[in-house]
Each structure stands twice: as C-alpha cells, then as structure tokens.
C-alpha cells in the first residue's frame, strides 16, 4: 500500500489521507467485497421497510411512518461513509479532498444527530400508544407526526454546522494523515497547528447535549411505559405491551451503547483501533441490523413485506 507524503506544507492544503484499515492489497480487496455486500444488504433491508410501509395502507400510522423515515435516514447515514470507504480500499493514496472531508464530516454527524432525535420521538410515540391508548389517535395526529419528523431533520442538520465550519477554518500542519476510515473531529483536531482546547471543550459539550437530551427523553418515556405496563393485570397484556417496545429498545441499546463507548470512554481517546471498530459498529453495523430487528419482531411488517414481494412477483 503506497501512501503519498506530499502534504507537509501547511500553506497549501489539498486534502487528507484516510488510512482506513491498513493491510496488504489482497486484504483490501477482501474488505471491499465484504463492505460492498454489507452496503447492498443495508440498502435492501431499509428499502424493503420503506416499500412495505408505502404499499400497505394498514401501516399508514404514526408508528410506521416514523419507522419508514428512520429507515430512510439509515440509508443516507451508511451512504455518508461506506462509498468513500469502498473507493479507499481500491485506492493507492487513500486521499480525500479537503472539501470532501468536511462534507463527509458534516453529513455523518448531522445524520447521526437526526438519528438521536428520531429514536427519542419513536420512544415518545410508544409512550403515547401504551399510556394513553384511548386518546392516542387524537394526541398523535398526522400533523403532529409530520411536525415531529420535520423537527428531527431540521434539528439534526443545525446541530453541528457552526463547530464544523470553525474547524474547517483552522490551519493544519504535519502529514495530513488521519488514522480512521472517515473524517472524525478527534483526528482532525490533532492535526491543527495550534492547541484547540476551547474547540475540544465546545465539541464535547454539544456532543454530550446531543447524546443525553434524547437519551433522557427515551429513558423517561420508557420509565412511564414500564410503570403503566406493570399496572396491567394480565400477563398477556403485559407481554403485548412489551413486544411493541422490544424492537425499539434493542435499536436504542445498540446505537447508544456503541456511541457512548466511543465518546464517553477514556480508552477511545487513545486507541485508534478501538475507535475504528466502535465507529464501524454504530455507523455501518446498526443500519444493517435494524431492519432485521424490526421485521423479525413485528408481524405487521413481515406481512406487508410478504405482500409486497408477492406483488413484485
């Protein structure tokens, strides 16, 4: 693997080098095939859920509209990293342009922010459905659902532009080599010419707020759901209530578990290998697994998918 070392002059920045997963040429080709298959399966899985919700009139409810939007988000989330990763596997210099790096930086974190907000409103939807079943249709109206979806997208894409623009205006020194498969704030700030303690603190604050505000909303919603379910006299009713939340709780656990390991664990600040693996799990692994979780645990989704496949045949 040849990596050009042509970026030592800090006055002319043409791009960065994303090391990705260094290995011999044969290993790079094997990784290319593996991640190509993962990417295609992710597109197919999330695309299938979108098609099922669109085709089946019974699924035109807030719960499934939110799920379809979440699947649409997952498609773009994985697309913000994997295509460039695939290109790097076949590239000798592993180069990404300066503008390309910061565009990836912006879209990756904006889509990740949007995912945090979507997980929160999906938990809120389950809270209304279980705790206020008789008033659910009047509380979670189509208009409210639309407003919540729009708010998630807008908030997600407005959360990080200011710090990303500030970082893009900094001067970068050294080799321009980023030991990662995407443009991440930690490795980027490490390449700046001057100390960036203020920016690191600012980034930590807004990242913590992004993680904890939706997470506390999710935990609050499920605490109220748990209290309501425990009051249900029959075991069958309790199982039915828990089953409607199981898929979402599994997705929240996978996403937040890996993200918190990444950004709240002291180890992730130093070990580039762990950093890559954890980022790979929540940015590529969870979008692949989520459709499986939702389709396996949901009879309506399975029925709609079967109906959709029959129509296509």
For residue 89, the surrounding DSSP H or E stretch is helix 82-89
Class of residue 155 by CB neighbours under 10 A (exposed 0-12, middle 13-18, buried 19+): middle
Q: Lay out the sheet containing 15-18: strands in order across.
A: 95-97, 15-18, 177-178
How many angstroms separate the CA atoms of 190 and 194, rounded?
Answer: 9
User: What pLDDT is recorded for position 261?
Assistant: 79
Extract the tokens encoding 115: 């995912």
Query: Within its chain, how far is the Cα of 271 from the centroid?
Result: 22
Residue 39 near residue 85, CB atoms below 8 Å: no
Q: 147 CB contacts (<8 Å, ≥6 apart)?
A: none
User: What pLDDT is recorded for position 269?
Assistant: 53
DSSP 104-131: HHHHHHHHHHHHHHHHHHHHHHHHHHHH
User: What pLDDT is recorded for position 13?
Assistant: 56
Q: Which backbone phi and psi does 250 adopt, to 5 degrees?
A: -65, -45
Residue 48 near residue 305, CB atoms below 8 Å: yes
User: What pLDDT is recorded for position 267?
Assistant: 45
User: From first to last of its 313 residues, what are the pLDDT tens digits of the chain?
Assistant: 445 444 444 444 578 999 999 989 999 999 999 999 999 999 999 999 998 898 888 889 999 999 999 999 999 999 999 999 999 999 888 899 999 999 999 999 999 999 999 999 999 999 999 889 899 999 999 999 999 999 999 999 999 999 999 999 998 887 789 999 999 888 898 888 887 788 888 998 999 999 999 999 999 999 999 888 888 777 777 777 777 788 888 899 999 988 887 776 654 455 778 889 889 999 999 999 999 888 766 778 888 877 767 666 5
As its CATH architecture, domain 17-312 has Up-down Bundle (1.20)
For residue 73, the surrounding DSSP H or E stretch is helix 62-79
């Amino acid at each position: 693997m040849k990596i050009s070392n042509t970026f030592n002059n800090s006055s002319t920045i043409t791009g960065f080098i994303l090391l990705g997963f260094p290995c011999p040429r044969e290993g790079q080709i094997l990784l290319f095939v593996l991640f190509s298959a993962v990417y295609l399966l992710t597109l197919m899985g999330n695309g299938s859920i979108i098609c099922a919700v669109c085709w089946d009139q019974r699924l035109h409810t807030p719960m499934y509209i939110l799920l379809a939007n979440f699947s649409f988000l997952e498609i773009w989330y994985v697309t913000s990293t994997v295509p460039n990763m695939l290109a790097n596997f076949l590239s000798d210099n592993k180069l990404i342009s300066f503008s390309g790096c910061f565009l990836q930086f912006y879209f990756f974190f904006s889509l990740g922010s949007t995912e945090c907000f979507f997980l929160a409103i999906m938990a809120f939807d389950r809270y209304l459905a279980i705790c206020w079943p008789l008033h659910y249709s009047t509380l979670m109206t189509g208009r409210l659902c639309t407003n919540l979806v729009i708010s998630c997208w807008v908030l997600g894409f407005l959360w990080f532009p200011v710090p990303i623009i500030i970082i893009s205006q900094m001067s970068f020194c050294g080799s321009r080599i980023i030991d990662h498969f995407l443009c991440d704030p930690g490795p980027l700030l490490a390449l700046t010419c001057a100390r960036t303690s203020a920016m690191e603190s600012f980034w930590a604050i807004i990242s913590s707020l992004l993680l904890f505000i939706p997470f506390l909303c999710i935990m609050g919603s499920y605490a109220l759901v748990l209290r309501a379910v425990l009051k249900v006299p029959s075991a069958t009713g309790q199982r039915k209530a828990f089953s409607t939340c199981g898929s979402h709780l599994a997705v929240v656990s996978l996403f937040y578990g890996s993200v918190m390991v990444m950004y709240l664990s002291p180890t992730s600040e130093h070990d580039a290998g762990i950093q890559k693996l954890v980022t790979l799990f929540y940015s590529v692994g969870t979008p692949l697994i989520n459709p499986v979780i939702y389709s396996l645990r949901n009879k309506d989704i399975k029925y709609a998918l079967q109906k959709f496949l029959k129509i296509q045949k």
